[in-house]
């Protein structure tokens, strides 16, 4: 009996201990359950949703580039693409191998994908292939179970409706490189492009916009079930240019197959209405990547299609420089308007003879006659009397050899030499250098855009600056009114005589550019020819009587130039044309300038608000 009582006591204590242990465990579980469901319920609900919902940023639509009439020069279209999210792929290599059997990938593409997978975080989508066809997308979707981590997405790609006609102005976009992404991680977003040249580069930040986001419901293995929400990014600002796309095409048609450039400017406000460079290139190629074969073709072309000749091409201005020399002489009082200089066909300085282009000379000439006949001896003498430093100062004031306030990357400054510059090169300046500078040769180098700006300043009497941005985000930019630009601060009489000389070049009998005369009698154009040698012509070659630069190999022929403004009585448009190795400005550049100015006056883009739609008559006489 006592044993039974003892056993009962032991059993009761064990039961109590067991019940106590169970109670402690259940209490702990209850406390933990309370902690999870009540105290931290909201946090765990959020984590559960985060496991179920995948949020990704998406590239914003890029803003458009428009011409002055709203015509799209750079826009976007739908682009279907395949992306890879490496954290959702059990074996990235196997996934890419399976993808390659459906849509073949090159070794270069595989290497790029591998680099980006290691560069970015595992949740950031990596571009596998863009520009998918409908057949490619269908094949990828059918084989989706064998492609873990691969998803088909829709984005945008950049298009350029005018192709090579505006490539140097509009520029192009390309994928960001490692340095770009290091500066801004948002650039790692698939499909995002950045401006690499032209206005795409200059206004890149405004054009980019702000990224959007998409929420996707995924299952336990990360497979997308459906799209829950999409907030498109904020589209970038539209950039309105001063360019008239119709005029641009007309100018390029006139330039034809020549390696050449032409710039048309509004004399009143500096708006660039056309900036043509020939040949051009297809800017859309850079969007997907340039092949080695294509790059080799471009770099081997001696006409340099990748260079914007209007802003980066450097040329001796030749006789188009003579107006700057004349104004420098007048400003410094080295000459007067009525001074007459004798041209016997040459100027002797010591043992050196400097020839005029006309072998028998021009006789006695005043300023107007010097410009009309483009007499070299007249301007040799003016430069000699004036001095190179004063010629350089006036040239810079007129927009030559200086960095213009241009909203387009890549412009070159050119050079108007001075004594100080020459001494900095370790050489002394000599009088002979001044003499040849008087006709725009020697060390002088300028761009076609500088020549157009120079002509616009001569015509308007204002310090206009060339610019290509007319509006940004729909807001008109400063610089569209004549009063926005200060006066040139040169005597009206001097400017008037220079303009008169340019008028006589084109319109008066004996002028050097009769082929530039406008066929429409409503308007008259003032201009100046120029031929710039690219190699020295020796005395023996000159005196042989058989020398003909037109028979030289193309790369040794002189450049042909022409600058002009019109209408003469109320200047509105300035123009510069440079034909590489065109030989003679009067024969090659002047007729093209005539045709370009005729088209410009008929379209009259500066005074219209709508895109001209009528078919233009032939510009020639």
- Residue where the block lists tokens 């080695």: 292
Q: How far apart are CA 327 and CA 458, in angstroms?
A: 10
Q: How far apart are CA 145 and CA 35, in angstroms?
A: 39
Crossing angle for the helix pair 388-397 and 376-386, nearest 10 degrees?
Answer: 100
Q: How far apart are CA 52 and CA 46, in angstroms?
A: 10
Q: How far apart are CA 340 and CA 324, in angstroms?
A: 18
Pull the structure tokens for residue 288. Answer: 């997907």
Given a contact cutoff of 8 angstroms between Cβ atoms, the answer to whether 69 and 610 are in contact is: yes
Q: How far apart are CA 494 and CA 490, in angstroms?
A: 7
DSSP letters spanning 368-437: HHHHHHT-HHHHHHHHHHH-HHHHHHHHHHTTSSS----SSTT----B---HHHHHHTT----HHHHHHH
Which is catalytic among the residues 54, 76, 319, 471? 319
In sign, the C-alpha dihedral spanning 562, 563, 566, 570 is negative
The DSSP 8-state label assigned to residue 164 in this structure reads G
Q: How far apart are CA 504 and CA 513, in angstroms?
A: 9
Reply yes or no: is the peptide bond before residue 468 cis, omega within 30 of 0: no
β-bridge partners, 76: 158
- Residue where the block lists tokens 């294509």: 294
Q: How far apart are CA 495 and CA 602, in angstroms?
A: 27
β-bridge partners, 564: 527, 575
Among 392, 380, 450, smallest CA distance to 420 is for 392
Among 230, 157, 223, 168, smallest CA distance to 199 is for 168
Q: Does residue 319 have an active-site annotation?
A: yes
**Beta carbons within 8 Å of 269's beta carbon, 6+ residues apart:** 464, 479, 480, 481, 482, 484, 485
- Give the end-to-end CA distance of the chain in Å, rounded to a whole number: 140
Quote the Cα angle for 185-198-408, to 5°: 110
List the alpha helices (DSSP H) in 219-284: 245-255
User: Could you count the other beta carbons within 10 Å of the beta carbon of residue 320?
Assistant: 33
Given a contact cutoff of 8 angstroms between Cβ atoms, the answer to whether 61 and 156 are in contact is: yes
Catalytic residues: 319
């Amino acid at each position: 009996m006592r044993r039974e009582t003892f056993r009962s006591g032991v059993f009761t204590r064990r039961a109590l201990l067991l019940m106590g242990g169970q109670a402690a465990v259940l209490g702990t579980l209850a406390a933990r359950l309370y902690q999870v469901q009540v105290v931290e319920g909201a946090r765990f609900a959020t984590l559960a949703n985060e496991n179920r919902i995948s949020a990704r940023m998406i590239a914003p639509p890029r803003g458009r580039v428009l011409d002055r009439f709203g015509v799209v020069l750079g826009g976007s279209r739908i682009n279907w693409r395949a992306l890879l999210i490496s954290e959702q792929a059990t074996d990235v290599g196997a996934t890419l191998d399976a993808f390659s059997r459906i849509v073949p990938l090159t070794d270069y593409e595989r290497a790029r994908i591998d680099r980006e997978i290691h560069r970015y975080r595992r949740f950031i989508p990596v571009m596998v292939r863009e520009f998918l066809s409908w057949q490619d997308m269908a094949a990828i979707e059918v084989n989706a179970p064998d492609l873990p981590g691969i998803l088909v997405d829709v984005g945008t790609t950049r298009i350029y409706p005018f192709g090579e006609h505006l490539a140097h102005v509009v520029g192009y976009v390309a994928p960001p490189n490692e340095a770009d992404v290091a500066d801004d991680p948002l650039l790692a977003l698939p499909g995002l492009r950045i401006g690499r040249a032209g206005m795409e580069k200059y206004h890149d930040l405004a054009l980019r916009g702000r990224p959007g986001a998409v929420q996707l419901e995924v299952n336990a293995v990360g497979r997308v079930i459906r799209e829950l929400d999409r907030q498109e990014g904020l589209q970038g600002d539209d950039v309105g240019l001063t360019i008239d796309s119709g005029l641009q095409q007309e100018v390029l048609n006139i330039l034809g197959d020549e390696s050449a450039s032409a710039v048309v400017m509004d004399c009143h406000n500096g708006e660039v209405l056309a900036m043509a460079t020939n040949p051009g290139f297809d800017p859309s190629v850079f969007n997907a990547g340039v092949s080695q074969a294509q790059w080799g073709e471009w770099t081997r072309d001696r006409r340099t299609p990748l260079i914007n000749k209007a802003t980066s091409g450097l040329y001796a201005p030749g006789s188009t420089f003579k107006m700057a020399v004349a104004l420098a002489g007048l400003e410094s009082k080295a000459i007067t308007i009525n001074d007459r200089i004798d041209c016997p066909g040459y100027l002797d300085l010591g043992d050196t003879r400097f020839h005029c282009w006309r072998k028998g000379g021009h006789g006695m000439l005043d300023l107007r006659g010097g410009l009309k006949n483009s007499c070299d001896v007249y301007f040799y003498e003016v430069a000699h009397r004036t001095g190179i430093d004063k010629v350089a100062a006036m040239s810079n004031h007129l927009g030559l050899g200086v960095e213009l306030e241009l909203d387009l990357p890549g412009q070159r400054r050119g050079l108007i030499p001075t004594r100080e510059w020459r001494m900095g090169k370790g050489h002394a300046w000599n009088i002979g250098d001044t003499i040849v500078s008087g006709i725009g040769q020697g060390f002088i180098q300028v761009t076609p855009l500088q020549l157009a700006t120079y002509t616009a300043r001569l015509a308007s009497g204002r310090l206009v600056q060339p610019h290509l941005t007319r509006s940004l985000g729909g807001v008109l930019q400063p610089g569209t009114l004549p009063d926005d630009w200060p006066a040139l601060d040169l005597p009206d009489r001097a400017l008037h005589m220079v303009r008169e000389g340019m008028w006589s070049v084109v319109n008066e009998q004996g002028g050097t550019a009769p082929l530039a005369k406008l066929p429409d009698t409503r308007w008259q154009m003032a201009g100046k020819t120029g031929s710039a040698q690219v190699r020295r012509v020796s005395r023996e070659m000159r005196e042989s009587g058989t020398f003909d630069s037109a028979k030289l190999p193309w790369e040794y022929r002189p450049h042909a130039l022409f600058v002009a403004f019109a209408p003469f009585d109320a200047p509105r448009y300035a123009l510069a044309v440079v034909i590489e190795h065109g030989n003679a400005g009067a024969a090659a550049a002047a007729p093209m300038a005539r045709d370009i100015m005729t088209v410009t006056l008929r379209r009259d883009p500066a005074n219209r608000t709508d895109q001209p739609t009528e078919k233009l008559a032939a510009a020639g006489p």
